[in-house]
A = this chain, B = another copy of it.
Amino acid sequence: MANFGFDDFRLVDPYDAAFREAVSAVGGAHVLQNARVFCTLAEAVADCSLVLGTTAGQHRVPQQTVERLEVGMIAARSHPGRVGLLFGSEKFGLSNEDMSFCHGLVRIATSADTPSMNLGQAVAVCLYELVRAGTDLGAGTSADPFSPVSGSDSEQITRMLLEVLEKSGYLNRIIAISTEQKVRRWIRRLRIGRRDGPLLLGILRQVLWKFNNPE
């Protein structure tokens, strides 16, 4: 919960009264400490205008439609009021009674053979989906777009590599006539970044120097 910025943790009739002392992940202690305990689900979701229950979707015929998590979370994000996300016990999931408090049911698209998830992992996946970047992926990313080496640097690399090939005796081994074009195409096919250009040129220069100055 803390990883994805949520802190309103509510428990209904928990079995373990000592849950507050449970060892929590780094940064999650405040979530446990501020957890609120309710005797009934009705009280726990009293201030929520949308309650979404989670289910593995097996072993029972739900009286409600089960949506994929992605679809349910779109509804949750656009909901104008408080949204409750409801998880059952790891062993039994939500009862039919519990589900009757839900406006909708969602399920994580797990493999058909292994639908039942670890509770903590299911919560992580649901909250991740809830805050996940939707269609506007580009907006929040800080990834630098790939910035390729200039055409003139590419050509300088090509020329210098050809010189290395010639001086090392490599050129004789391949059909000479097409080598220059082959090397040129190859240098362009590699995604050589702007910062890589000087590095590659420096290496080639040093190799040539060594050819000319053997010990």
Q: Which residues of A contact B (CB under 8 A)?
A: 2-5, 25-28, 65-68, 70-71, 108-111, 113-118, 120-122, 124-125, 128-129, 131-133, 137, 140-144, 161, 164-165, 167-170, 173, 186, 189-193, 196, 199, 202-203, 206-207, 209-211, 214-215
A170 touches B203 (CB 8 A): yes
Chain copies in complex: 2
For A25, what are the chain B residues with a Cβ–Cβ distance below 8 Å? 116-118
A108 to B125, CA, bound (A): 11
B114 touches A27 (CB 8 A): yes
Minimum-distance CB pairs A-B, first 7: A214-B214, A27-B114, A121-B124, A5-B111, A170-B206, A168-B210, A2-B114
Q: Which residue of B lies closest to A127 (CB)?
A: B125
A129 to B84, CA, bound (A): 23
> Nearest chain B CB to A126's CB is how many angstroms away?
9
A140 touches B190 (CB 8 A): no
For A3, what are the chain B residues with a Cβ–Cβ distance below 8 Å? 108, 110-111, 114-117, 121
A141 to B70, CA, bound (A): 10
Question: If A26-B114, A115-B3, A125-B128 touch, does A141 touch B207 (CB 8 Å cutoff)?
Answer: no
A206 to B122, CA, bound (A): 44
For A131, what are the chain B residues with a Cβ–Cβ distance below 8 Å? 109
Q: Which residue of B lies closest to A164 (CB)?
A: B207
> Nearest chain B CB to A57's CB is how many angstroms away?
9
B70 touches A132 (CB 8 A): yes
A117 touches B111 (CB 8 A): no
A68 to B196, CA, bound (A): 23
For A144, what are the chain B residues with a Cβ–Cβ distance below 8 Å? 65
A143 to B68, CA, bound (A): 8
